[in-house]
Amino acid sequence: MSEFHGKRVTVIGLGLHGGGSAAARYFASRGATVTVTDLRDESVLATSCESLSDLDIRYVLGRHDTSDFESADIVVKNPAVRRTSPYLAAAARIVTDISVFLDEFHGTVIAVTGTKGKSTTASAIHHALKTHTDNVFLGGNITVSPLSFIEETDENSTVVLELSSFQLGDLAYVAALSRRAVYAPHVALITNIHVDHLDYYGSMESYVADKRVVFASQSATHETIVRNDSYGAQFARETRARVTVFGPEPAGDGAFLAPDGTGLLRRADSVETILPAKRKLPGEHNAENLLAAALAVHAVGMPRENAARALAEFPGIEHRMEFCADLDRVAVFNDSAATIPEATLAAVSSFDRPVVLITGGNDKNLAYDAFTEIASRVSAVYLLDGTATPMIRDFFAERNPADAIHGPYSSLDNCVSDAVTHAPENSIVLFSPGCTSFGMFANEFDRGRKFKRAVEEIALAGRRRRPV
């Protein structure tokens, strides 16, 4: 009988990404009495509720009731719920879907975090390992809760977890409440650190503190992989694990990119190729992601030649530099997962053809200076409405002619239609917002799906662009 049989479990934050649903199913299937509560109502959460329709679950939607927390044996926290929530203060025991998974799983964990590139890097690691073994799984921040596949794992499984700062902070929070050390992954990989989520954290120090959790409990038997920059150097000094460094430039031992784009690994006096120059995934920033992925799969025993071949074939993932269509010699890319300006700059810099950029959205207390360089690299910009958009528009107004700046648009469909219609031949239409999505969209995935739907409708209608 499960230790959770007969326990009263309250899941706070059902959400739309699957974490809340997976947690509710996990506990209900183990005989717990489950209550799901969310401030959003059933009309918003219909898909998540429907996925649990076969289970006996009580719902409290559109509000929270303190009694559901006071009477619960266990409260499952969603990453979007602040740790200072008064409802959590009433809980006897707090867990997350990630903490529950890590308590039960006894195989190998590769934990990937960072500001940019963590989803691509985690997916590339999973892609490479899948060519080597079937006993590998991918979960975490990229919408798949590891509780959804825990029954399929065993002690020989490898799980790649993409972990956001919120999820890492929650692991430390849960560990502190239970007076235990935070979980130590076998491999901890930090892709990079940039300013992000200051609307939540208030300072970079607090944000970076949550990122540090990924290696906080590691020992000399573990591996920490960091970028060759100031934050990476800091993390390398702090971790107790073995350290491997990667980056675009050589700096002692570690992985770096040669001038022709080949990924090389220097160890003492030897240098070997770990990533071919010819790869499916475009962009120098993605080359760095693949370098980091190569180091991670080496750390768990994948032969380097096999890893290099597999990573060269990695096509990328949805909403991240995702090719959508070729519309009358205009290539359209979906980079909706770009939620900070630096991600948009990396995307724009990936192309050697004229770029028509669709960008803008809501502010999360970031610096938008990267749009200075972005503005100098694009031929036209189409702005989506949002609280950050007026600031972004100013950067373009200083560097681009007025007729190259369009919007702001309150309709994504109209914005996409105009951008495609007026884009010159042999150009790129790139959707890379550089901002958070909340307001016009439920999240960046909803935003990306709606963008692709708009592009698909243009393609199906066979609408031709006007002569430019």
Q: Which value, to the nearest 10 degrees, does the dihedral of the CA atoms of residues 381, 350, 196, 177 take?
A: 140
Residue 191 main-chain phi, psi, to 5 deg: -70, -45
What architecture is the 8-95 domain classified under in CATH?
A: 3-Layer(aba) Sandwich (3.40)
Place domain 98-312 in its CATH homologous superfamily.
Answer: Mur-like, catalytic domain (3.40.1190.10)
* 355-414 pLDDT per residue, tens: 999 999 999 888 999 999 999 999 999 999 999 999 999 999 999 999 999 999 999 999
pLDDT for 47: 85
pLDDT for 30: 96
Which segments in the chain show pLDDT lower than 50?
Answer: 464-468
Tokens at 286, concatenated: 């993605």
Tokens at 28, concatenated: 């209900």
* 311-320 pLDDT per residue, tens: 999 988 889 8
Q: Count CB atoms within 10 A of the CB of residue 466.
A: 7
Rg of the chain (C-alpha set):
23
Instruction: Provide the whole-model pTM.
Output: 0.82
pLDDT for 127: 97
pLDDT for 250: 76
Contact indicator for 116, 340 with CB cutoff of 8 Å = yes
pLDDT for 465: 47
Alpha helices in 152-283 (DSSP H): 165-177, 198-201, 204-212, 230-238
Domain boundaries, the chain: 8-95, 98-312, 322-461
CATH number of 322-461: 3.90.190.20
Q: Which 8-state DSSP code applies to residue 282?
A: -
Q: Which 8-state DSSP code applies to residue 265?
A: E
